Amino acid sequence: MRITQAHLENLTDWINHEKGYPLTAYERDADGILHAQQLHILVRRYSGRCHVEQIVNAGGGVRDLNHGTARECYEFLRGMQEAIMLDQRAERYAA
């Protein structure tokens, strides 16, 4: 299966929603100035590679969580998704 940008965005949207992170990378204030949303996870493509990044400050600074081909980033995000689902299952059974 070919991995498209939509596959990667669907996974990052799910992860951001489940973790309670902001759903958009940037938000415009009343003055029209863009502000980065801290902790948002996103996928960017540049330099011929795919990069999974997390915004770490209000200025838009990011940390690279993973980089590689689209398939490698997809597998990384699927691993994050599985870990979140396992945590939720463990919390459900612990109660």
Per-residue pLDDT tens over the stretch 5-26: 999 999 999 999 999 999 999 9
Q: Is 41 exposed, middle or buried (0-12, 13-18, 19+ CB in 10 A)?
A: buried
Residue 8: predicted pLDDT: 96
Interval 19-42 mean pLDDT = 94
CA neighbor of 81 nearest in space, from 49, 57, 46, 52: 52
Helix (H) or strand (E) holding 37: none
Residue 59 has pLDDT above 80, yes or no: yes
pTM of the model: 0.90
